[in-house]
Structure 1
Amino acid sequence: MTETSLASPSLRSALRHLWQDQRVWLATAAILGTVALFDPSQAAQSARFAGQALLTTAPFLILSIALAAWAGATGADNLIARAFTGAPTLMIALGALAGGLSPFCSCGVIPLVAALLSMGVPLSAVMAFWLASPIMDPSMFVLTAGVLGPEFAVAKTLTALGLGLFGGTVTHVLSRGGAFAAPLRDGIGSGGCGGVRIRAPKPVIWRFWAEPDRRAKFGRTAWSTTLFLARWLMLAFVLESLMLAWIPAETVTATLGGDGLLPILTATLVGVPAYLNGYAALPLVGGLIEQGMAPGAGMAFLVAGGVTSIPAAIAVWALARPQVFALYIALSLIGTFTSGLLFQIWTTLA
């Protein structure tokens, strides 16, 4: 057997990984290039939009990347993971509460989720945080109360907590049967190597920079995580910009009028592709509610737009294995429809 033939498998593996690393950048470039052929100004606007969005989320990205790299380099990831091995109910409740108070959007929460899962935090607690986070935060509560009223703001807050608790509980029940043992895709954190399982205890060295191997691990983890998040979030933000530009918000929300279950179901499904910034959507939904749109449909549209939008779904798909992605989408849709239905019932009875 020749030296060339011995090297061939390694070469093919290297080329395959190189292609997997670059295909997202190529897809983003292809989208912008195609748009530039027909609408150069929109291509420039989309590129600026994506760049500005990355800069806006940069503080959260840097914090999450540094946290993941620090935990791996020091060995603290095992301690963090073991902190979540107590009562599952308490961990799920804390995850939902933290999500309802955190200032993360559906894409911005991705790096923190990746860091938590790579540390070995159980998927159930992370899922509770993951689902609750994009729906509500303190500033959103104040604005929602001002535009749609305190009742709507409180209901949306309860929806965030309820969806987090529901998603975390369902995930926990399924995980007890052995499902989702490794939620992260291969090459992301410890995905593929038992990401949610507590790893063998290792000594914790807080001053990791004093050891060359730990310094090197910190650098490798930070760099690989940065590249991964940057390429997928760039694609998500480019798509978001095109959706905002080509799908008028008024046209989308105008389809949500009427009474009964159908408007709520329509709002749940329309909220998936029709991404609206949570703040920008409030006055539009408020105006339609004043014109007779069912409040439950308004609630469903706002929740779906934050949790299950296409940009968010792309980020989730890049991070998690297909079965976890499917679970996330299913929990989001079921929770969104249920929240709209319950809010409609409440407003009717009130």
Structure 2
Amino acid sequence: MAETTTTPPALLLRKRFGNAWALSAALLVLVAVLDPTQLIATLTFAGKALAGTAPFIIFAVLAVAYLKATGAENLLAKAFEGNPTRMIIMAAMLGGLSPFCSCEVIPFIAALLAVGAPLGAVMAFWLASPLMDPAMFAITTGAIGIEFAVAKTLAAVSLGIFGGFGTLLLAGTPVFTSPLRENPQVGGGCGAKKPFSSSPVWRFWIHKDRTQTFRDTAIENGAFLLKWLTLAYVIEALMVHYMPAGLIAKVLGGNGLGTVILGAFVGMPAYLNGYAAAPLVAELLDQGMSNGAAMSFMIAGGVSSIPAAIAVWALVKPRVFAAYLGFALTGSIIAGMVWQTLT
């Protein structure tokens, strides 16, 4: 989805609720206590799944570390210059492709809003950015397949454009009048002290500080992906063993609009980031979940995931946040229906 001006809200909430390792351990302890014969099978399943995903994890970690070390995040500022229509399209495209976390973008977006950057472009970026990045693309490809990953990327950009132009059209209404909170929390999370303030340096290895950034980012993202995917695969192992496949097929199967809508309404309050959601959705698909419901689940859940939603909630008034969720819910259903039709 702030309590002080020095602790970023996303980081604060993550410290309280984001301990994926603890949750994984708690689930394994429950299995050991309630069904000890299943513990080894659960650990084996999760271990094999992680090993199978390892090439995608390594590629994702190295790609993000390179982009971070070069300072490529500075290119994001280009999306918020020029004609409003161009800004919305560029913001949606960069949001759907950039490898940077939501809390990192908070100070940048706050500064843009404060100096009058169009809320439509900001909304486009906000909606697209939590749905896809290079690491998530690799993980989604490994868990579900390249076609789904490409479709989700297109859906992310399309959702950003949809929300951006929707905001632009409704800019004169009370919903979007004076959107900023009086005292927005703009602490620079994720170690981003001066985001978007310099030009990229593509040959980063000749600079000691950038080499250190590459190393630190690789370690940080590797640990991040490992903990979330471990949790996802532990849950997937439990789903395979305990959840009746017939139930999933009955509730979320079929080709009707109802399954797509249900997927969106289930996904939105699930608050799952795309890394954890991909393996779980892959298992649900194997158990009978429809393609459209899978897409709407991942789109709605990604936008409402805690780090993404808190980045918006921290800066804008509740009515703008409600519009953000409304665009996400509507767009996820549309994306699900389109994917259902194409597949």
Q: Which one of the candidate residues 113, 117, 122 is aligned to 1:121? A: 117
Alignment of 1:136-147 (within 5 A): 136-147=132-143
How far apart are residue 278 of structure 1 and its match?
A: 1.4
Q: Find the partner of 1:257 among 252, 259, 277.
A: 252
Query: Counterpart of 2:83 in structure 1: which amino acid?
Result: A
- 2:252–2:263 contact (8 Å) kept in structure 1: no
User: What is aligned with 1:322?
Assistant: 318
Q: Secondary structure at the match of 2:314?
A: helix
Say which of 167, 171, 180 aligns to 1:175.
171
How much has 1:110 moved relative to structure 2? 3.6
Q: Give yes or no for the alignment of 1:157 onto 2:164.
A: no
SS at match of 1:124: helix
- Given the superposition, is the C-alpha separation of residues 119 and 277 from structure 1 closer, same or farther in structure 2, using an over 3 Å criterion? same
Cα–Cα, structure 1 residues 21 and 139, in superposed 2: closer, same or farther, change >3 Å? closer
Aligned to 2:85: 89
Deviations 1:117-163 (A, max 9, x none): 23321100111111011111122223322322221111101101100
Q: Any conservation in 1 of the 2:122–2:164 contact (CA below 8 Å)? A: yes
TM-score using structure 2 length: 0.58
Q: Structure 1's 305 and 93: CA in aligned 2 closer, same or farther, altered over 3 A?
A: same
Name the CA shift for 1:327/1:84 in 2 (closer, same or farther; >3 Å).
same
Question: Could you report, residue by residue, the CA deviation over 1:270-293 in whole angstroms, capped at 9, with x for unpaired residues?
Answer: 112212231222122112212321
Q: Structure 1: how far apart are the matches of 2:142 and 2:283?
A: 13
CA contact (8 A) 2:175 2:320 kept: no
Q: How does 1:193-232 map to 2 (within 5 A)?
A: none
- Amino acid in structure 2 at the alignment position of 1:297: A
Name the structure 2 match of 1:286.
282
How far the C-alpha of 1:104 sits from its partner, in A, is 3.3
Q: d(CA) in 1 for partners of 2:83 and 2:96?
A: 20
Q: Identity percentage over the alignment?
A: 51
User: Are residues 309 and 142 of structure 1, via their aligned partners in 2, closer, same or farther at CA, if it must alter by over 3 Å?
Assistant: closer
User: C-alpha distance in 2, partners of 1:150/1:162?
Assistant: 18
Paired with 1:288 and 1:303, the residues of 2 have a C-alpha distance of 15
Residue of 180, 184, 194 corresponding to 1:184: 180
Tell me how far 1:176 sits from its aligned partner. Answer: 4.4
Deviation sequence 1:181-224 (CA, Å, 0-9, x none): 4221002389xxxxxxxxxxxxxxx9xxxxxxxxxxxxxxxxxx
Paired amino acid for 1:152: F
RMSD after superposition: 4.4
The residue aligned with 2:266 is 270
Separation in 2, partners of 1:177, 1:85: 24
Q: TM-score, normalised by structure 1?
A: 0.56
Closer/same/farther in 2, CA of residues 315 and 101 from structure 1, 3 Å limit: closer
CA distance in 1, matches of 2:311, 2:95: 18
Mapped partners of 2:184, 2:177: distance in 1:
15
User: Matched residue of 1:185: which SS?
Assistant: coil
- Per-residue CA deviation, residues 45-97 of structure 1 (Å, 9 max, x unaligned), is xxxxxxxxxxxxxxx9xx9xxx9xxxxxxxxxxxx89x957321111011001
Distance of 1:308 and 1:268 partners within structure 2: 11
* Residue of structure 2 equivalent to 1:335: 331
Deviation at 1:179, TM superposition (A): 5.3
**CA contact 2:124–2:159 (8 Å) conserved in 1:** yes
Match in the other structure for 2:200: none
- Of structures 1 and 2, the one with the larger relative CO (CA 8 A, separation 6+) is 2
May I ask how many residue pairs the two structures share in their alignment?
242
SS of the residue 1:140 aligns to: helix
- For the residue of structure 1 that corresponds to 2:82, the secondary structure is coil
Question: Gapped runs of 5+ residues in structure 2?
Answer: 17-22, 27-67, 187-196, 198-227
Shift in alpha-carbon separation, 1:84–1:310, aligned structure 2, 3 A? closer
| SS of alignment partner, residue 301 of structure 1 | helix
Aligned AA (1:151): E
Partner of residue 148, structure 1: 144
1:160 aligned partner, one-letter code: A
Q: Secondary structure at the match of 1:184?
A: coil
Residue number in structure 1 paired with 2:96: 100
Counterpart CA distance in 1 for 2:5 and 2:124 is: 30
Contact between 1:106 and 1:307, CA under 8 Å: does it hold in 2? Answer: no
Deviation at 1:108, TM superposition (A): 4.9
Contact 2:126/2:312 (8 A) holds in 1: no
Q: Secondary structure at the match of 1:273?
A: helix
- Ranges in structure 1 where 5+ consecutive residues have no aligned partner: 1-18, 33-38, 43-59, 68-79, 191-205, 207-240
The offset of 1:165, in angstroms, is 0.4
Q: 1:105 to 1:84 in 2, by over 3 A?
A: closer
